[in-house]
């Protein structure tokens, strides 16, 4: 048998071990509490010449494994959240319509605009990479991307009709002369 003060001396190490097992502060505290209760209940089984930390950490590990098995068996089996997640289905028709509208809007764009949108927005390339790939300056990438996004947004709002898209000529504005 051991004294309660001896178990108190092992709390720091047991607390660290509990956190390593659970990776959660509140669960670690619960596990530590349950371990101390179980160790005090079973202190008559402790052998005097053995290490108290090893003995109590073994109790902790066994409690952790038992709780884990219980959770995986019952929580996943009877937890309504898991059941509902499996039963819920996304509104596929809405997604299909959005994809179809986006495909139509992309098809209505010029080749340059489609290419720049795919490289930057879909493939995630950086402006410098796109500029090198297309052999154009970075500034041109930015301006094409801006126009492509504007045209795509307008095409999505007008269901693919690009009669009002911006062209480079529309972006050119005469500069006011200084007096």
**Cα 119 to Cα 130: distance, rounded to the nearest angstrom:** 7
**Cα 39 to Cα 52: distance, rounded to the nearest angstrom:** 10
Q: What value does the mean pLDDT take over residues 46-73? A: 90
27, 9 contact by CB (below 8 A): no
State in Å, rounded, how far the first CA of the chain is from the last one. Answer: 100
Q: What value does the mean pLDDT take over residues 51-58? A: 93
Token duo for residue 47: 């052998």
pLDDT at 78: 61
pLDDT at 91: 66
pLDDT at 87: 67
pLDDT at 173: 44
**Cα 61 to Cα 65: distance, rounded to the nearest angstrom:** 6
pLDDT band with cut points at 50, 70 and 90 for residue 98? confident
pLDDT band with cut points at 50, 70 and 90 for residue 171? very low
**Cα 56 to Cα 43: distance, rounded to the nearest angstrom:** 10
Q: What value does the mean pLDDT take over residues 30-46? A: 93
Q: Which residues contact 160 (CB under 8 A, 6 or more apart)?
A: 101, 104, 105, 107, 108
For the chain, domains (ranges, CATH) are 4-86 (1.10.1740.10), 92-169 (1.10.10.10)
pLDDT at 73: 73
- When the pLDDT of each residue in the chain is averaged and rounded to a whole number, the result is 83
Q: What is the tens place of the pLDDT at every residue in 10-27?
A: 999 999 999 999 998 999
**Is the per-residue pLDDT at 174 higher than 50?**
no
Q: What value does the mean pLDDT take over residues 43-58? A: 91
pLDDT band with cut points at 50, 70 and 90 for residue 88? low
What pTM value is reported for the model? 0.43
pLDDT at 172: 46
**Is the per-residue pLDDT at 164 higher than 60?**
no
């Amino acid at each position: 048998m051991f004294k309660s003060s001896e178990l108190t001396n092992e709390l720091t190490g047991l607390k660290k071990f509990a956190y390593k097992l659970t990776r959660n502060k509140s669960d670690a505290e619960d596990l530590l509490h349950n371990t101390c209760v179980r160790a005090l209940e079973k202190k008559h089984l402790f052998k005097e010449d053995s290490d108290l930390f090893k003995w109590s950490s073994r109790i902790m590990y066994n409690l952790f494994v038992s709780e884990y098995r219980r959770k995986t068996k019952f929580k996943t089996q009877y937890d309504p959240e898991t059941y509902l997640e499996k039963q819920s289905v996304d509104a596929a028709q809405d997604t299909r319509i959005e994809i179809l509208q986006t495909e139509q809007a992309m098809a209505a764009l010029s080749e340059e605009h489609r290419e720049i949108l795919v490289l930057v927005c879909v493939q995630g390339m950086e402006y410098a990479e796109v500029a090198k790939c297309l052999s154009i300056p970075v500034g041109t990438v930015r301006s094409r991307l801006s126009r492509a996004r504007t045209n795509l947004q307008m095409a999505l709002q007008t269901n693919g009709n690009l009669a009002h898209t911006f062209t480079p000529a529309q972006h050119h504005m005469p500069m006011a002369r200084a007096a």
